[in-house]
Chains A and B, each alone.
Chain A
Amino acid sequence: MADLLTSTAPRDEGLDGTPGGGGRRRLGAPLARLVLTRVLASVAVLWGAVTATFFLLELMHGNTVDVLLAQSQAGPEVRAEIISRYHLDDPLPVRYFAYLGRVLRGDFGESYMLRKPVWQAITEQLPDTLVLVATTVLTTVVASVLFAALSATRRRSLRSVVAAVESLVVAVPPFWLGLVLLTVFSFWLHWFPAIGSSAPAGLVLPTIALAAGPVAVTTRVLREGMVRALDEPFVMTARTRGISEPAVRLRHTLRHALLPATALLGWISGSLIGGAIIIETVFSRRGMGRLVLSAVQNRDMPVVIGIVLVAATTFVIITVLVDILTWFIDPRTRT
């Protein structure tokens, strides 16, 4: 995570074979190289994710078949049938390589619990989660830029008040915030539906609950960058040219603050699937969060690994996007 937080585009000089270093470079080639190296690294990341999940689940207590049958009155015959059907008694390395082979062929197997192909179970739930994550990211971007621009002041006292509010918001557990939002805006005021709505109105409260923490953190990072930039000579120059204060902030100082905030946002977006577990439960929304929760509880290995792969892929795509974005924001990273 640490390297993601400070991530900038790869700056491996050895890869930069462009001749005539002094001249103006075409932008296309380095960008393509950036994407290529990232994609190659991603494959390694995905393999690591599958492997780690596989073995971590193996380390968990209990065995799959007994947890699976915990709610049933199934006799020994059914138990034996399930063990042989899912090859649960094969040695660990055999199961690992068999699984890896299937994943490479795009076959994620069948869910023990839901009795359907993992890919189907995931694609049924994925759109709802993606929509929630997308609205959350959008809210985070808009709200944090707005709040940062408003609160970027050199007055220390005001800044510390705002910082205290942010700390409070970050400290509030999302499920508690979700319940408070539900109670006030759904149960009392009847503005929004409480459970399981896929209509746009049903997205408002979950988005606020999920975005609150990221907004607070991103605002702080943005503001600190802006405050630092406000002391730079070019701001003085801009002001002397008579540029309005909002324009100074949004056009000049914001750009300097964007770099760390973009990297941070990339990491936040990737981790939102984790946050969605709680929010989806509180708001009774469909989604990957609830799927992974029940899959882990039931040791439904194929589903867990499938979800980890999807989450890791999302994470990787976002990281690459962030790198590309960084590349555009900051010319220094284009070497």
Chain B
Amino acid sequence: MTAVAVGAVLALAASCAGGSQTSADGGTPRDGGTLNLAIGREPNCLDPHQSPSAAARVVSRPIVDSLVYQDRKGAIKPWLASRWTIAEDRKAYTFTLRDDVRFTDGAPFDAAAVVANLEHIVAPKTKSLLAASLIASYESSRAIDAHTVEVRLSEPSSSLLDVLATPNLGMESPATLTRSNDALCATIVGTGPFASPGGYRQQQGIEYVRNRDYAWAPAGLGHTGPARLDGIRIRVASDNSARYGALSSGQVDAITTLSPVNLRELRTADGFHLFSVPFPGIPYSYFPNTASGVLADVGVRKAFRAGIDWAQIVKNVYFGVYPSARGVLTSTTLGYDRSQESAYAYNPTEAARLLDQAGWTGRDAKGYRTKNGARLTLRHLWSDPSIEDLAVQVQAAAKELGIEIVEENIDEGTYVDRILSADYELADTNFASPGPEVLKVLYGSANVPSPTRGLANNISRYASGALDKLFLQAAASESVTDRLRIYGQAQRQLTADAAVFPIYSPLSTVAARSGVRDVTFDIDGSPSFYDTWLTS
């Protein structure tokens, strides 16, 4: 079952990983060989213009390049565009394109290709589930000359470059964009370091071959020129044990998304290597229904936050592999505000005081707090059955506090209904995303789910005019520093209002046999195999 968020699926299945990200693993890189990789979640569609899933980003990235590259620190660097200028009103961006780039079908990459891609993304016929909303302010684009393109926006945007750097806005060969949606879901053609002539086969996987002409990798990666691998073969193996067994018995070179148990085994096993990086974005968190029910009272929310030893629970459940979260964003996200960490400290005395203050002073026969005879009960909707271990420990900790949590592991349809009708006190999810803009997705008042709005990601149902104003200011801000300062303010408001109970930072993991070197990660946490090489 799926949670509201893009990242939830990936991260929950990913479950933890140990060590640090290892790059430049030592030894002299050699060319050649095919990497056999088994992934846990499959995309419904390969085309990143159409598909919203993290799995689609992983499988399409080797094929498509973007106009600009965003490095792990959030800095924007040239890629297919060698430079750009931004108009004073920040409603027009002019890109100068590299003139030596070709798609793998032989077509030249030029200004007309950029226009064709942007138009394809926003065309209603494409039914884009993510890319089009990422560039919601897009108005038009035009080729000024063969290698200069101007993009016009309906309102100022300071994050357009970040968005253009994602695979979802990746460049596909214009001739292919006239194909039907389902044809593009199987085969896409880009300018990337790999090509996949056979395309993606549902439930089976995808095979890539090296693009030998590739000479336009962004600066700052491990090498330049064509990729080191001859090819990559990705197979889909959704069962955790089968995928792990395939790795441990040497049937594949690498796998993504390990269960905590497998991960613990692998950390002590010889012959394997773990690549991992924390997902940027929203940590895995419990979200209170701040609009109705007992958690509409900020005092109760603060008590719940202080009264549970979240860090200890994370340690118990995930063997110390996942870093526990102490902020609205994960600590590796661009613009993370460290100053708020102390607000997330464990303090049971303060929690008890807050609950007394909020009027929950009675106790019933089972030891739960009551107010006017009613028990302090929170109904928690599960995003995914795999959270059980964590949920049970939180439930036990809450009981110490005198709060009853009713765990509800329900089917997806019921989950959607309950979220739409605000029929819950707690829901959980996480949301991987490169930058702090994700705060608007989760806390903007326009994104509160309702039967008329439909499902959306503000499951805290947090609606604040002041916060909405901050989001607008951030979008129109003059500089990166300004923008991050405003998002810092937003994090402080959300912390002060206890609008979320952050729990841990999920990790993106690739486990591989030790002969696999230099697996890296993009800013969104997706693994990248451009630098990867095999020792044998």
**Interface set of A (CB-CB < 8 Å, partner B):** 60-63, 65-67, 69-76, 78-79, 81-82, 85, 110, 113-117, 120-121, 124-125, 179, 182-183, 186-188, 190, 193-196, 281-287, 290-291, 294, 297-299
Most buried by A among B4, B44, B127, B134: B44
How far is A313 from B158 in the complex, measured between Cα atoms in Å?
57
Is the CB–CB distance between A195 and B52 below 8 Å?
A: no
In the complex, what distance in Å separates the CA atom of A286 from the CA atom of B127?
27
Inter-chain contacts of A120 with B (CB < 8 A) = 182
Complex interface: chain B residues within 8 A of A72 (CB): 6, 52, 129-130, 133
- Please name 23 pairs of A and B residues whose Cβ atoms are closer than 8 Å in the assembled complex, sorted by A: A61-B414, A62-B416, A67-B413, A67-B416, A70-B3, A115-B44, A115-B45, A116-B185, A179-B241, A186-B245, A187-B248, A190-B249, A195-B243, A196-B205, A196-B237, A281-B239, A283-B239, A284-B239, A286-B201, A286-B202, A287-B203, A291-B203, A298-B412
Residue of B nearest to A293 (CB): B238
What chain B residues lie within 8 Å of A81 (beta carbons)?
Answer: 124, 127
Which residue of chain A lies nearest to B410 when distances are taken between CB atoms in the complex? A61
B50 interfacial by beta-carbon distance below 8 Å: yes
Interface centre among B5, B236, B245 (most CB of A within 10 A): B245
Q: Does B420 contact A (CB under 8 A)?
A: yes
Q: Is the CB of B242 within 8 A of A195?
A: yes
What separation, in Å, do the CA atoms of A294 and B241 have in the docked complex? 20
Does B378 count as interface, using CB distance less than 8 angstroms? Answer: no
Residue B482 interfacial (CB < 8 Å): no
- In the complex, A183 Cα to B182 Cα: how many Å? 37
Contact B182 A116, beta carbon cutoff 8 Å: yes
Contact of B9 with A by CB under 8 A = yes
**Is B66 interfacial (CB-CB < 8 Å)?**
no
CA distance A75 to B456 in the complex (A): 9
**A69 and B454 within 8 A (CB):** yes
The reply on B159 being an interface residue by CB < 8 A is no
Closest to A57 in B: B413
B441 within 8 A of A: yes
B453 within 8 A of A: yes
Asked if A65 meets B454 with Cβ closer than 8 Å, knowing A195-B243, A196-B204, the reply is yes
B149 within 8 A of A: no
A269 to B263 alpha-carbon distance, docked (Å): 39
Kindly identify which residue among A61, A125, A179, A195 contacts B251, using a CB–CB cutoff of 8 Å.
A195
- Considering the chains assembled together, what is the distance between the CA atoms of A101 and B124 in angstroms? 27
Check B129 against A66 for contact (C-beta < 8 Å): no
Of B1, B236, B249, B457, the residue contacting A186 (CB under 8 A) is B249
Which residues of B have CB within 8 Å of A285? 203
Shortest Cβ distance from A80 into B: residue? B454
Q: A70-B416, A291-B202 are in contact. List 6 more A-B contacts (CB 8 A).
A: A66-B416, A72-B133, A75-B136, A81-B127, A187-B249, A281-B239
**Pairwise interchain contact A60-B413, C-beta atoms closer than 8 A:** yes
With the chains together, A298 CA to B441 CA distance in Å?
A: 22
Q: Which residue of A lies closest to B415 (CB)?
A: A62
State A299–B6 Cα separation when bound (angstroms).
18
Chain A residues positioned under 8 Å from B185 (CB to CB):
114-116
Q: Which residues of B (17-46) have their CB < 8 Å from a CB of A?
A: 38, 44-45
- Chain B: CB-nearest residue to A68: B129
* A61 CA to B411 CA, complexed, in Å: 8
Contacts of A71 in B (CB 8 A): 2, 5-6, 9, 52-53, 129
Q: A120-B182, A182-B241 are in contact. Are A297 and B202 (CB under 8 A)?
A: no
**Is B414 within 8 A of A114, CB to CB?**
no
Does B455 count as interface, using CB distance less than 8 angstroms? yes
* B259 on the A face (CB < 8 A): no
Q: Measuring CB to CB, which residues of chain B are less than 8 angstroms from any residue of chain A?
A: 1-6, 9, 38, 44-45, 50, 52-53, 124, 127-130, 132-134, 136, 181-182, 185, 201-205, 235-239, 241-243, 245-246, 248-252, 411-417, 420, 441, 453-455, 457
Residues of A within 8 A of B50 (CB): 115
B457: chain A residues at CB < 8 Å are 73
Most B CB contacts (10 A, CB to CB) among A110, A182, A196, A283 go to: A196
* Alpha-carbon distance A62/B454, docked complex (angstroms): 11
Q: Quick one: which of A78, A110, A284 contacts B238, CB cutoff 8 A?
A: A284
How far apart sit A297 and B52, CA to CA, in the bound complex (Å)? 17
- Cα A194 to Cα B242 with chains together (Å): 7
Known: A195-B243, A284-B236. A73 touches B416 (CB 8 A): no
A125 touches B249 (CB 8 A): no
Interface pair A114/B45, CB less than 8 Å apart: yes
The 3 nearest A-B residue pairs measured at CB: A62-B413, A116-B182, A61-B413
Smallest CB separation, A95 vs chain B (Å): 17
Nearest CB in chain B: distance from A88 CB, A: 11
Q: Which residue of B lies closest to A79 (CB)?
A: B454
Tell me the complex Cα distance, A62–B420, Å: 9
Closest to B136 in A: A75
In the bound complex, CA of A61 to CA of B235 (Å): 33
Asked if residues A73 and B133 are in contact (CB atoms below 8 Å), the reply is yes
- In angstroms, Cα B22 to Cα A137, docked, is 50
Q: How far is the CA of A82 from the CA of B454 in the complex (A)?
A: 12
Asked whether A283 lies within 8 Å of B182 as measured between CB atoms, the reply is no
Q: How far is the CA of A76 from the CA of B133 in the complex (A)?
A: 10
Most buried by B among A66, A281, A298: A66
Q: Is the CB of B251 within 8 A of A78?
A: no
Q: How far is the CA of A74 from the CA of B9 in the complex (A)?
A: 17
A182→B130 contact, CB < 8 A: no
A113 and B38 contact, CB distance less than 8 A: no
A198 to chain B, nearest CB (A): 8
> How far apart are B4's CB and chain A's nearest CB, in angstroms?
6
**Which residues on the B side are within 8 Å of A299 (C-beta)?**
413
**Assuming the A-B contacts A62-B415, A195-B235, A195-B243, are A78 and B127 also in contact, with contact meaning beta carbons closer than 8 angstroms in the complex?**
yes
Alpha-carbon distance between A69 and B205 when the two chains are bound, in angstroms: 24
CA distance A286 to B205 in the complex (A): 10
Cβ–Cβ < 8 Å partners of A294 in chain B? 44
Residue of A whose beta carbon sits closest to that of B54: A71
Evaluate contact between B412 and A62: CB separation under 8 angstroms.
yes
Contacts of B133 in A (CB 8 A): 72-75, 78
| Nearest B residue to A189, CB-CB | B249
- CB <8 Å contact, A286 and B413: no
Q: Is the CB of A183 within 8 A of B245?
A: yes
Q: How far is the CB of A176 from chain B (nearest CB, A)?
A: 11
B359 to chain A, nearest CB (A): 35
Q: Are A114 and B44 in contact (CB under 8 A)?
A: yes
Chain B residues closer than 8 Å to A298, beta-carbon distance: 412
Q: Which residues of B contact A297 (CB under 8 A)?
A: 1-2, 412
| Residues B202 and A124 in contact, CB atoms below 8 Å apart | yes
Residues on the A chain within 8 Å of B251, using CB: 186, 193-195
Of listed B4, B50, B420, residue having the most chain A CB within 10 A = B4
